[in-house]
Structure 1
Amino acid sequence: MNGALPLERPLRVLHVYKSYYPDTVGGIEQVIAQLGRGLNGLGVESRIFTLSRDPQPPVIELPEGKVHRTRQSFEVASNNVSVSALRDFGRHVDWADVVHYQFPWPFGDVLHLLAGHRKPSIVSYQSDVVRQRWLMRAYRPLMNRFLGSVDRVVATSPEYLRSSAVLANLSTPVTVIPNGVDEGAYPQPDSQAIGRWRARLGEGFFLFVGVLRYYKGLHVLVQAARNFPGRVVIAGEGPERPAIEKKVRSLGLDNVTLLGRVSDEDKMCLLQLCRAFAFPSHLRSEAFGMSLVEAAMCSKPMISCGIGTGTSFINLDGQTGYVVEPESPQALHDALVRLQQDASLASAMGARARTRYENFFTASAMATAYLEAYRQVLPAPAPAGTR
């Protein structure tokens, strides 16, 4: 295969994942959105196939492409399943030149294998299966067959490629393409919006933004805030919020603020006002960290944990911030204090983070790299004079 593009129309890419906007908000949804918009600028037509508990309307037109939603039947261990998708998936595959899966989604493996299509296919390997280890014995044969049947697997960082046992044992070619974001896709907050947040929180606080999930290590961040002479702000919603609020109350902390979900404009205000970005994810379920990319884009130093994933590819210890021992409140506390006490150090690290964003994590770089990967898996053109 060496990259024959359709001459009479744009290249068509079908993106496949278990859920999508507006039903769910998360890192993989953001990757698909940023990639779709970047590919649009390169003349590629994108379509997103996903499941929804309430797929009305069944088709939503977004800047990154049309989102085609099929009704979700049930969910088992974070695996969304749809009976109707077994019927609907084939017609979307027929439309596509390349099918692009986001992994892990076991039912997506089933869709691919049952469809029996021979369309070129790529998998973005976003994470190992971490939490559902008890299911891995049953799932492994399906996973291996799926990953062995596609044309290319993409890891999101060299660190994850090195540390994943699954990726290390693949016979399918593996490419590294970091996830990226487009700065132009974010709203630029006005002075009034920034002023409202400044009046509420002040400046120079330490910020976390993300879905409040079990692997985010926020219980460690709350413990690290004890006896810390600064403010910690946690923005986002998720299943761990009650436990985090309980932890804050039990420790009697008045320097930790939980904001709930914030808009993109509010997020940009908070990123402008904060001293640094705290990202204490302590488990390998945090395979990359799109919020870290956003912080680097905004020239903010970062504090993350060394868990052998892409977080340590985005945040370089001692250069763009600090990488600390996971689940260590003291190590995290010490990093907070260093950046709190040294504004010039924080500023210098933030400037290096911005440079790293520009070099590695823009949406245009991601889209260009994926377009090249698509070209490489497309079938070779027929020789001249043949039909």
Structure 2
Amino acid sequence: MNVLHVYKTYLPEDFTGVPRVIHALAEGMAEQGVRSQVLALGPGKTGTEIPIDHHTVHIAHRDLDIASTGMSFSALGLFRRLSKSADVVHYHFPWPFADLLHFSARPNCPTVVTYHSDIVKQKRLLAAYAPLRDRFLRDLDAVVATSPNYVQSSAVLKALDDVQVIPIGIPDVPEPQPDLVAQWRERVGQDFFLFVGALRYYKGLSFLADAAGKTQARIVVAGAGDSSEWPGLDRDNVSYVGPISDEDKIALLSLCRAFVFPSHLRSEAFGIALLEAARAGKAMISCEMGTGTTYINLDNVTGLTVPPADAMALAAAIDTLEAAPERAAAMGAAARQRYLSLFRAEMQTAAYLELYRQVGVGS
């Protein structure tokens, strides 16, 4: 089986969010004898092929980037060529330019899409794009959402006749490296509340900064971005440690009391960072937005959920787990069990392989 994934960014340029999902699928399917290729835009020359572990990314030169939508004139020909040898084309939404690729080439094989998120930020442009989006989604053989919560809260998905749910899955990881754990303990201590993620507009960092001023608990913030854009992250009880490696993340998760995830907009459609916390057996604090974050984090079971954009409620949740380490540990154990039962990478791989067969691949 030859699977072509299509998305606007990928390794080596980008390994956050959707690219991590694609990578997990491609590597998981390689173990099943499936050949995966990825078409993505990048700064390189169109047609450049880059081996990534056990699959290949094909780069189309990015000519324009308008409203977070990368565009490439040469991608049209590259997509047409790659789709001819594919047994299934797997789009990852949102990327409006992929809709144009689809209709320009009309792949002669089954086509599916993983609907990761509504378009949230570009509201004015959305009105013009919506007819193309709706035509695109209805033209495919299958539409997949990553949580039942998102299906129920997305007007776009609720308008479709049939949407399947396949949760995102991530692989388990080795135990934290003792030397890294010791280094981080020396630097930031332990039993703190940890945030890991890019410092983006929808991550709710302004509310976390405000919450830090309402609690004595120690908070560690890790991730790429300009921390000066978020006044309050320089408080005495907040440590901003900048971008970190995956190994550092595993070490920090082993040291923290709980994971705090203040994302307040629907652009945070799932929350892979929450999955990583659940995998590590940590209690979580997140916001109820009708997205996958509350599918991962069940209120009063695996952690606490609070209203979005509410610094007071966020601080109260932090104080609750700060005062009750046993409760935080019990929630963390429940989070680990939920990860094992729903969110393992091999479960995601098996579900998509079955979906490909359902739409006619290999028949």
TM-score norm. by structure 1 comes to: 0.91
Between stretches 207-216 and 46-55, larger displacement belongs to 46-55
CA apart distance, 1:118: 2.5
Question: Residues 313-372 of structure 1, C-alpha deviation per residue, up to 9 Å, x if partnerless?
Answer: 000000000010111111100110111111100100000000000011000000000000
Structure 2 partner of 1:213: 200
Distance 1:90 1:162, change over 3 A: same
**Secondary structure of residue in 2 paired with 1:49:** strand
Structure 1 partner of 2:319: 337
**Secondary structure of residue in 1 paired with 2:195:** strand
Q: Are 1:241 and 2:234 an aligned pair?
A: no
Structure 2 partner of 1:190: 177
Question: Residues 19-61 of structure 1, C-alpha deviation per residue, up to 9 Å, x if partnerless?
Answer: 0112123111111111111111222111111000234992111
Does structure 1 conserve the Cα–Cα contact (< 8 Å) formed by 2:5 and 2:90?
Answer: yes
In the aligned structure 1, how far is the partner of 2:45 from the partner of 2:318?
44
Does structure 2 conserve the Cα–Cα contact (< 8 Å) formed by 1:236 and 1:261?
Answer: yes
Matches within 5 A, 1:60-139: 60-139=50-129
Does structure 2 conserve the Cα–Cα contact (< 8 Å) formed by 1:98 and 1:378?
Answer: no
Structure 2 partner of 1:176: 165
Matches within 5 A, 1:144-293: 144-171=134-161, 173-183=162-172, 186=173, 188-238=175-225, 241-244=227-230, 246-249=231-234, 253-293=235-275
Q: Are 1:373 and 2:355 an aligned pair?
A: yes
Structure 2 partner of 1:4: none
In the aligned structure 2, how far is the partner of 1:227 from the partner of 1:378?
56
TM-score norm. by structure 2 comes to: 0.97
Between stretches 119-128 and 221-230, larger displacement belongs to 221-230
Distance 1:271 1:131, change over 3 A: same
| Aligned match for 1:38, one of 10, 28, 34 | 28
In the aligned structure 2, how far is the partner of 1:242 from the partner of 1:142?
39
Does structure 2 conserve the Cα–Cα contact (< 8 Å) formed by 1:203 and 1:273?
Answer: yes
CA apart distance, 1:292: 0.4
Does structure 2 conserve the Cα–Cα contact (< 8 Å) formed by 1:187 and 1:264?
Answer: no
Question: Residues 204-232 of structure 1, C-alpha deviation per residue, up to 9 Å, x if partnerless?
Answer: 01111111110110110111111422211
CA apart distance, 1:379: 5.7
Question: Residues 245-276 of structure 1, C-alpha deviation per residue, up to 9 Å, x if partnerless?
Answer: x3335xxx111111111001001111111110
Q: Which runs of 5 or more structure 1 residues have no equivalent in the other structure?
A: 1-10, 382-387
Distance 1:380 1:72, change over 3 A: closer
Between stretches 298-307 and 61-70, larger displacement belongs to 61-70
Structure 2 partner of 1:384: none
Q: Are 1:362 and 2:361 an aligned pair?
A: no
Distance 1:57 1:195, change over 3 A: farther
Does structure 1 conserve the Cα–Cα contact (< 8 Å) formed by 2:84 and 2:108?
Answer: no
Does structure 1 conserve the Cα–Cα contact (< 8 Å) formed by 2:227 and 2:233?
Answer: no
Q: What is the percentage of aligned positions where both structures have the same residue?
A: 48
Instruction: Let me know the Cα RMSD of the aligned residues.
Output: 1.4
User: Which structure is higher in RCO with an 8 Å CA cutoff and minimum separation 6?
Assistant: 1
Does structure 2 conserve the Cα–Cα contact (< 8 Å) formed by 1:33 and 1:64?
Answer: no
Structure 1 runs (4+) deviating above 4 angstroms are: none
CA apart distance, 1:297: 0.2
In the aligned structure 1, how far is the partner of 2:362 from the partner of 2:353?
16
Distance 1:368 1:380, change over 3 A: closer
Structure 2 partner of 1:310: 292
In the aligned structure 2, how far is the partner of 1:222 from the partner of 1:354?
28
Q: Are 1:143 and 2:143 an aligned pair?
A: no
